[in-house]
Chains A and B, each alone.
Chain A
Amino acid sequence: MAPGPSAPGPSPGTVSVTVAWLRHVAVTIHERRAWLTDLDAAIGDGDHGINLDRGFAAVAADLESGILATDSVGPLLTAAGRRLLGLVGGASGALYGRALMAAGNRIAANSTAGPTGTRRLAEDALAAAIDGIAALGHAAPGDKTMLDALVPALVALRAAPPDELIEFALAGAAEAAEAGAAATIPLVARKGRASYLGERSAGHLDPGAASSAIMVRCLADVVAAAGGAGASLPETRATR
């Protein structure tokens, strides 16, 4: 059943990491939904935590019920993104939906090239997600958006030495994402609802950057829990 080492595409271990990541994001966003919503209430429309919680809970429920295909990473991420797109609504649904779909599509396109490890997969997924968000949101780093967490995470991941253990490389990416999110506090928003506030948006952490940093941290956590390279994960994190 398990493909040999020369089989193309992501290894079975990376599928279980992806499933675990989606579940862990659902649990973590649920735990932090009030905080995210408070951040959004300060400079946006006050529904970021509630909307994301609703969307990722639906993704987790689809994983549970088997509606989402779980035999390869690309189609899984694309389907999860589509679910967010249809359910979350608002900017966050469109942007995270598009991000996951872009990540899934790029992984699926690359998967014919040869075996793909977790490190390469994470870089490809993050790069595609950033491209998807930047294209849809017409945003760039410094605009006080999700990109201010995700771009530093990708830079850190690419800068990690090639022989560094994946869990350490991802922990570095998560730290960079959190630092990037924190660095949005003094910025004046140039995109999204917060941009309607102008200077008044300064002094607040951007909720999209905050949720993006959570998602990168969740990836670092599940890969560390899997023992790095994507061994099968203990399914201890219930989805609620």
Chain B
Amino acid sequence: MVGLVLVAHSEDLVRGLAAMIGQAAPAVPVAGAGGLGGGRLGTNGLAVAGALRRVLAAAAGDGVLVLLDLGSASLALDVALDELDPAARGLVRVTEAPFVEGAVLAAVASSGGADLGAVAAAAERAGTMPKLPRD
């Protein structure tokens, strides 16, 4: 099953989103890397690498989709990818999808058995999904 890695500046943000995913799709492997410890905000590439390794192991070859909040999250991911061996790196995909909606849609798709490409496509649909009623 495709796993998710959540990269954000806040540990609380990651924990909250992981809980929301757990409600929608409890079987999907999820790990987050958020904050710098001790409640400090920021992203840490080595923590992201740890999260990637854990979820890659749980995903058993099906791959991992990474969701980012903003700013240096993408730098931390670049640092983390450098830490992985090339075979593992090939199983990681990153999406531009909105952090919350993208993660929930991706988790639902993954729990339905979608492959990595289809999970990423599901996350990307979050970008155009309406939040307000349309009538």
Contacts and interface: CB of A to CB of B under 8 A. Distances in A.
A85 B79 contact: yes
B10 to A, nearest CB: 11
Contact of B36 (A89, A91, A97, A196): A89
Contact of B79 (A45, A47, A94): A94
Contacts of B9: 45, 90
Interface in B66-116: 70-72, 75-76, 78-79
Contacts of A137: 75
B43 A90 contact: yes
B75 to A, nearest CB: 4
B41 A93 contact: no
Interface residues of B, number: 16
Contacts of B71: 45, 91, 192-193, 196
Contacts of A51: 36, 42
B79 A192 contact: no
Interface string A91-120: 101110110000000000000000000000
Provide the main secondary structure of the chain A interface.
helix
A116 B113 CA distance: 58
B45 A94 contact: yes
A136 B74 CA distance: 9
A86 interface: yes
A94 B41 contact: no
Interface of A: 45, 47, 51, 85-86, 89-91, 93-95, 97-98, 136-137, 192-193, 196
Interface of B: 9, 36, 40-46, 70-72, 75-76, 78-79
Given A45-B9, A97-B45, 17 more contacts: A45-B71, A51-B42, A85-B45, A85-B79, A89-B43, A90-B36, A90-B43, A90-B72, A91-B72, A94-B76, A94-B78, A97-B79, A136-B79, A137-B75, A192-B72, A193-B72, A196-B71
